[in-house]
Chain A
Amino acid sequence: MSRSDGMHVIVTLVEDRPGVLFRVTSLIRRRNFNIATITVGSTEYEGISRMTFTIYGEERELSQVVYQLDKLVEVVSIVVFKPEDMIVRELALIKVSMPNNGLQSEVIEKVNRYRGHIVDMTPRTVTVELVDTPDRINKFIEEVGKINIVEIARTGITAVVRGAEPTVKGVGING
């Protein structure tokens, strides 16, 4: 069973006003919603940010999350997808310790196999950058082995829907 079972991705466009992230997280806490990740970034529209959430849960909780988020005045539009209908990516920076030289070539081999990059190196560590699905990043971490890992920094996912259409339409933003 992969980690993405029962996972949904919620993509919202929100007005970039002070306090909007607070309003969203306050709502999630208050309503007891089970949100796994949130990412925030800028968009093609001025003054509009994009928030991407991943949530594991039943349909009923999912629709509550969507309806309650949609009620927030700052939330301009909101859509939900299953991850398989999207290009889903996460960035991870993983610092790996290497007590001996044998391990070094093994790690480099794995980095290449996972199409990662080594972005920093010291006599005792390498720092690996991976851009991939959360599942693949998990697998990489598993393969390297927890014992060798000094630090993991992950961004949480961002995603776009497959195909030619935009994931979420900015209704009325430019009009």
Chain B
Amino acid sequence: MRMSGAEALIEALKREKVNLIFGIPGGAILPVYDALYDNGEIRHVLARHEQGAAHMADAYARVSGRVGVCMVTSGPGATNTVTGITVAYMDSSPMVTITGQVPTSMIGSDAFQEADIVGIVTPITKETFQPRRAREIPGVVKAAFHIASTGRPGPVLIDLPKDVQTGEDDIEFPEKVKLLGYRVRAEPDPLQVKRAVEALLNAERPIIMAGGGVIIANASHELRMLAETFMIPVVTTLMGKGAMPENHPLCLGMIGMHGRYEANLAVGEADLILAVGTRFSDRSTGRFDEFAQDAKVIHVDIDPAEISKNIPAHIPVVCDAKRGLASIFEEAKRRARKRAKTLWAKRVEELKEEAKSVYDLKGDLKPGVLMRMLRKAVPEDTIVTTGVGQNQMWAALFFDVYRPRTFITSGGLGAMGFGFPAAVGAKAAAPGRLVVDVDGDGSFMMTSQELVTSMAEDLPVMAVILNNGWLGMVRQWQTLFYGKRYMATDLSGNPDLAKFAEIHGAQGFTVQSYGDFEEAVKAGVKSEVTTIIDVRISPDEKVFPFVPPGRSLREVITHE
């Protein structure tokens, strides 16, 4: 078929069933935007900053399970996506970024708006492509979507020189592309599964540590079957939040630096850890050499490079989390019967009971209480996104998640500014559901221009901003570790957020009591426009429990 590279790109995207692109046009990507003009099938959401577009595409991918697409121009457009691409890389989110590039004849000449984006993003992408002829585009798109969405997912970048977009060529659309060096080990080694099951059934105090891989692989059902049948308690990582309903008797919630007290203690008492789809991040484990020292570790992960990278695995099982959990369950059922309540399960209940007194939930405008009120006020399938810092940890600690793909956060990179654009992207993925960004004043202001996108593109969301007028988590560290020397953390120059909402045409509420909060949330849930709820919490609110950096999970601080 005779067509231009730009037309070939659009056609190839349609064949990948893309119906939504987040982006901002510019000189070097104009031919593609021109080809979009005549097209009725792909919606374009115009972000106000390329970082926002990238976070939107990432969150869209995490909510929908499909590849998120972000499209920008060369140079600054491309470099502005770098934070968004890194977030997607650290959290294994399938995203394809399409960047314009100066014409091939100009590459290397430091031309206007030229940036070596392929060089810049190589360490933070699963793969990059820079097709040099229009006829290469369909194969490149096919490969990019395949690589981004299979195995351990991740971001892929396609850099399109302008002359490749405009060049007319004979274009064919392959059904498949050959990638010699790309292999995905979906199925586990049966021998390792047998070893894992033997160890699991012989353990007295086994625990499952579920990571983001369980959610990515849609393996929540398999996880629950295994846990319930053999009475194995479950803890999750931050990325694994939602893999198991958090109101389930066997679920202990999140572990880690700001993990739940009962979860961290249970991991310390376990004699076997079945870790699934997790990379044992330092924020989840605390000190590597003291993490679950006495426990045997079975590590199920699709990425062999994660096995024994941080925590040595006694039994590695390299495969997709869904297949891994299903195989372990099937093998375990062959060997053992369903278990009634074990001593260990009772111990877990005890720990949960003991933990109740640990959390700071008494007093005015306590973040933990606010999160629990929010949980009660919104539907079960509500999607929560977060900023980064105290707000994120309060949401993780106190907002119980019942379903996978409903808690969207920047875990690995910890990128402030993620929450609001992520909420907009999540809304685009699930227009019929409520989306709430739990954010901080610092995080929110970093990408607040996307409030415009939310209004202009009719993607209404609710933002609950836990506003303490400070860079709260940094301030917490300054309080605890730097003698209360509050250097550069005061955000008192920020605008009134309710008024800020109103000048955008959104609804704004200022909240100074639990009663205000209840009313504002009720109005937000019903609202057809974006709602900003500015909750004026005390700057002295801290996130506890807290395992200080470089310490073991046992050395948890529960109050100041």
Q: Please, which residues of chain A bring their CB within 8 A of the CB of B308?
A: 60, 63
Distance A74 CA – B271 CA, assembled complex (angstroms): 41
Asked if A72 CB lies within 8 Å of chain B CBs, one says yes
Asked if B304 CB lies within 8 Å of chain A CBs, one says yes
Contact among A15, A64, A71 with B309 in the assembled complex (CB-CB below 8 Å): A64
Asked if A76 CB lies within 8 Å of chain B CBs, one says yes
Distance A10 CA – B416 CA, assembled complex (angstroms): 40
Distance A75 CA – B309 CA, assembled complex (angstroms): 20
Q: Please, which residues of chain A bring their CB within 8 A of the CB of B123?
A: 26-27, 30
Bin chain B's interface residue count.
10 to 19
Number of A-B contacts defined by CB within 8 Å: 42
Q: Please, which residues of chain A bring their CB within 8 A of the CB of B181?
A: 14-15, 72-77
Whether B305 and A73, one on each chain, are in contact in the complex, defined by CB atoms closer than 8 angstroms, is no
| Residue-wise interface mask of A (95-113) relative to B, using a CB-CB cutoff of 8 A (1 in contact, 0 not) | 0000000000000000000
| Residue-wise interface mask of B (461-483) relative to A, using a CB-CB cutoff of 8 A (1 in contact, 0 not) | 00000000000000000000000
Pick from A16-24, A141-149, A155-163 the stretch touching chain B. Answer: A16-24
Q: Sample 24 A-B pairs with CB under 8 A, ordered by A number.
A: A15-B180, A15-B181, A18-B130, A19-B118, A19-B122, A19-B128, A19-B130, A22-B119, A22-B122, A26-B122, A30-B123, A63-B308, A64-B309, A67-B304, A67-B305, A67-B307, A70-B304, A70-B305, A73-B126, A73-B179, A73-B181, A74-B181, A77-B181, A172-B180
**A interface vs B, CB < 8 Å?**
14-15, 18-19, 22-23, 26-27, 30, 60, 63-64, 67-68, 70-77, 171-173
Interface-central residue, B122, B126, B303, by most chain A CB under 10 Å:
B122
Closest residue of B by beta carbon distance from A18: B130
Closest CB-CB distance, B28 to chain A, in whole Å? 19
Whether B180 and A173, one on each chain, are in contact in the complex, defined by CB atoms closer than 8 angstroms, is yes
Whether B182 and A73, one on each chain, are in contact in the complex, defined by CB atoms closer than 8 angstroms, is yes
Closest 9 CB pairs between A and B? A67-B305, A76-B181, A76-B180, A75-B181, A30-B123, A73-B127, A73-B182, A26-B122, A67-B304
| Residue-wise interface mask of B (487-505) relative to A, using a CB-CB cutoff of 8 A (1 in contact, 0 not) | 0000000000000000000
Closest CB-CB distance, A81 to chain B, in whole Å? 19
Closest CB-CB distance, A47 to chain B, in whole Å? 9
| Residue-wise interface mask of B (125-138) relative to A, using a CB-CB cutoff of 8 A (1 in contact, 0 not) | 01110100000000
Q: Please, which residues of chain A bring their CB within 8 A of the CB of B305?
A: 64, 67-68, 70-71
Closest CB-CB distance, A79 to chain B, in whole Å? 14
Closest residue of A by beta carbon distance from B128: A19
Closest residue of A by beta carbon distance from B180: A76
Distance A145 CA – B432 CA, assembled complex (angstroms): 79
Whether A23 and B179, one on each chain, are in contact in the complex, defined by CB atoms closer than 8 angstroms, is no
Closest CB-CB distance, B410 to chain A, in whole Å? 20
| Residue-wise interface mask of B (327-358) relative to A, using a CB-CB cutoff of 8 A (1 in contact, 0 not) | 00000000000000000000000000000000
Asked if B32 CB lies within 8 Å of chain A CBs, one says no
Kindly identify, within residues 162 to 193 of chain B, every residue whose CB is under 8 Å from any CB belonging to chain A: 179-182
Distance A26 CA – B121 CA, assembled complex (angstroms): 10
Kindly identify, within residues 20 to 47 of chain B, every residue whose CB is under 8 Å from any CB belonging to chain A: none
Q: Please, which residues of chain B bring their CB within 8 A of the CB of A19?
A: 118, 122, 128, 130
Whether A23 and B122, one on each chain, are in contact in the complex, defined by CB atoms closer than 8 angstroms, is yes
Closest residue of A by beta carbon distance from B318: A67
Distance A73 CA – B181 CA, assembled complex (angstroms): 5
Distance A76 CA – B122 CA, assembled complex (angstroms): 18
Q: Please, which residues of chain A bring their CB within 8 A of the CB of B118?
A: 19
Closest residue of A by beta carbon distance from B132: A18
Closest residue of B by beta carbon distance from A14: B181
Other than the known A27-B123, A74-B181, A75-B181, what 8 A-B pairs have Cβ atoms closer than 8 Å? A14-B181, A15-B180, A19-B128, A23-B122, A63-B308, A67-B304, A67-B307, A73-B179
Distance A27 CA – B125 CA, assembled complex (angstroms): 11
Distance A84 CA – B338 CA, assembled complex (angstroms): 53
Kindly identify, within residues 85 to 136 of chain B, every residue whose CB is under 8 Å from any CB belonging to chain A: 118-119, 122-123, 126-128, 130
Distance A72 CA – B130 CA, assembled complex (angstroms): 16
Q: Please, which residues of chain A bring their CB within 8 A of the CB of B304?
A: 67, 70
Closest residue of B by beta carbon distance from A17: B129
Closest CB-CB distance, B1 to chain A, in whole Å? 26
Q: Please, which residues of chain B bring their CB within 8 A of the CB of A60?
A: 308
Q: Please, which residues of chain B bring their CB within 8 A of the CB of A71?
A: 303, 305
